[in-house]
Amino acid sequence: MKKFLCIIIAMLGIWAILAFFYVQIPDYYQDRTGKRGEIWQNVLSKVICKVGNGSNFYF
């Protein structure tokens, strides 16, 4: 039971970190360039697509 709780907490922690970066980095780019993190979201969508279906299909 303790191990199960540790796994859940670790997963929540990972998701929290990802959410933090997803929110913070586009705002940072917006401050720098006036665009809302287009570069970051481009990279992220490419990575997700590549991981998701193992091909070179990009959004």
Inside any domain, residue 59 = no
Inside any domain, residue 25 = yes
Number of domains in the chain: 1
Inside any domain, residue 58 = no
How far apart are the C-alpha atoms of 23 and 27, rounded to whole Å? Answer: 7
This prediction has a pTM of 0.36
Length, in residues, of the chain: 59
> By residue range, what is the domain housing residue 25?
2-53
pLDDT at position 7 is: 86
pLDDT at position 30 is: 57
Q: For the segment 28-39, what is each residue's pLDDT rounded down to a tens digit?
A: 555 555 555 566
Q: For the segment 1-57, what is each residue's pLDDT rounded down to a tens digit?
A: 788 888 888 888 888 777 777 766 656 555 555 555 566 667 767 666 555 555 544
Inside any domain, residue 17 = yes
Inside any domain, residue 30 = yes
Inside any domain, residue 6 = yes
pLDDT at position 58 is: 43
